[in-house]
Amino acid sequence: MLDYIYALLIGIIQGLTEFLPVSSSGHLVLSQHLLGLKLPGLTFEILLHFGTLISVLWVFRRRLAGIFSSFWALLKRDEWARFKTSPNRWFGLLLILGSIPTAAIAFVFKEYVEQAFTSPKFVGIALFFTGLLLWVADILPSGHKDISKTGVWDALLVGVFQGLAVFPGVSRSGSTISGALWRGLDRKTAAEFSFLLSIPAILGATLLGVVEALKSGAWEDYWQIYLIGTVAAAAAGILAIKVFLKLLANNRLRYFSLYCWLVGVLVIILL
């Protein structure tokens, strides 16, 4: 029974902190140290990420349908002459470009990232950095770029900001939103681009561990725990996205700055 409660709690933590700008990886590290919660193997961690992927797919299903339709239309020869005229197709291309720096950073700094996951003190310092990013983003003047005015360099630089979030304590949503606002995207476009850019990152992290998880043979023994955690992460993720979109539209990111700084101080003092 206790395992089910742990699975539910960790799923909720993952879903909320993946999309609220407070770092899901950092909170999972801290929850394991402070609450004694332990992730029951790689398979469970993979499914938690799959749950948050479901959240993004559901909330932004209309935009995603438009992107896929725009690429499907390329099967018609005459559509290639209008290649750049589709905002959804351009959106999809920018998402692909933005994913490249993230993958490169994750590959180059892989060993350092693994070491950081064992250090609560590092998480505390990284939370300070996240708080600073959010505070600066909140005071930046509102940009005017919609997706049609967003360029290649905008996508690449936002991808670099997302790459920073491979380190625990650096919020993925917080860093990408900050990068997008710094590049002059309007808040609606910045939020949509940030959340959709998480799809390749989360999907990549999920696929990398699927083969190993299948080999472990743990699926049959713990499927109830996995199901509870996945559903909890998906439900909490949908809630987190909707709450965050409202707070972003009303310039309330600094609330998360204060939270990150407070948690950072407590972590450094206590751990």
Q: How many CB atoms lie within 10 A of CB 266?
A: 14
Of the chain, the percentage scoring pLDDT greater than 70 comes to: 89
Whether 139 shows a pLDDT value over 60: the answer reads yes
pLDDT at 242: 92
pLDDT tens per residue, range 149-183:
999 999 999 999 999 988 988 998 889 999 999 99
pLDDT at 197: 94
Name the pLDDT band for 217 (thresholds 50, 70, 90): low
Name the residue range of residue 177's domain.
2-270
Whether 185 shows a pLDDT value over 70: the answer reads yes
What CA–CA distance (Å, rounded) separates 258 from 249?
A: 18
Name the pLDDT band for 224 (thresholds 50, 70, 90): confident
User: Would you say 152 and 271 are in contact if contact means Cβ atoms under 8 Å apart?
Assistant: no
Task: Name the packing angle between helices 223-249 and 187-216 (round to 10°).
Answer: 170
SS (H, E, C) the chain: CHHHHHHHHHHHHHHHHHHCCCCHHHHHHHHHHHCCCCCCCHHHHHHHHHHHHHHHHHHCHHHHHHHHHHHHHHHCHHHHHHHHHCHHHHHHHHHHHHHHHHHHHHHHCHHHHHHHCCCHHHHHHHHHHHHHHHHHHHHCCCCCECHHHCCHHHHHHHHHHHHHCCCCCCCHHHHHHHHHHHCCECHHHHHHHHHHHHHHHHHHHHHHHHHHHHHHCCCCCCHHHHHHHHHHHHHHHHHHHHHHHHHHHCCCHHHHHHHHHHHHHHHHHHC
Write out the two tokens for 177: 């939103």
Whether 271 shows a pLDDT value over 60: the answer reads yes
Mean pLDDT of all residues belonging to the chain: 85
Across 27-41, average pLDDT: 66
Across 78-95, average pLDDT: 84
The residue type at 217: G
pLDDT at 208: 66
**Geometric angle at alpha carbon 173, from 41 and 67, rounded to 5°:** 95
Name the pLDDT band for 209 (thresholds 50, 70, 90): low
Task: Please give the tally of structural domains in the chain.
Answer: 1
pLDDT tens per residue, range 251-270:
788 889 999 999 888 888 87
Which phi and psi angles does 185 have, rounded to 5°? -70, 145
Across 109-128, average pLDDT: 87
